[in-house]
Amino acid sequence: DTEVTQTPKHLVMGMTNKKSLKCEQHMGHRAMYWYKQKAKKPPELMFVYSYEKLSINESVPSRFSPECPNSSLLNLHLHALQPEDSALYLCASSQDLNRNQETQYFGPGTRLLVL
């Protein structure tokens, strides 16, 4: 099973709202990732977690707050977003960060619209 699930599939929020995106995998992977993808552009890395600890933050604004409560779950908390934050948010996981080759498995994404 190479499934990564993401909820919700779609989300519409106002600029003053607080919402959360959820990602789950049951493959025993210890690395999890958040990507942002604007229309007609490739995915861009936002955060990387390894063994439930934040390893990489690609200079993402603080209105995006990641959380990894356990090895199977990854959340992205959203607060005071801007319309330009509207995008497809992708979660991915891989077995580990420290192997020479590492295949990432992606979820279907959450399509976010900020009004």
Partner 1 sequence: DAKTTQPPSMDCAEGRAANLPCNHSTISGNEYVYWYRQIHSQGPQYIIHGLKNNETNEMASLIITEDRKSSTLILPHATLRDTAVYYCIVRGTGGFKTIFGAGTRLFVKA
Which residues make up the interface to partner 1 (CB under 8 A)? Answer: 2, 4, 6, 31, 33, 42-45, 48, 50, 55-56, 88, 90, 92, 94, 97-98, 100-109, 111
CB of 81 to partner 1, least distance (A): 21
CB of 87 to partner 1, least distance (A): 12
CB of 39 to partner 1, least distance (A): 10
Burial of 6 (0-12, 13-18, 19+ CB in 10 A): buried
Name the residue nearer to partner 1 (CB basis): 68 or 92.
92
Give the pair of three-digit tokens for residue 29.
């992977």
What does each C-alpha distance from 13 to 10, 29, 30 come to in angstroms?
A: 10, 31, 31
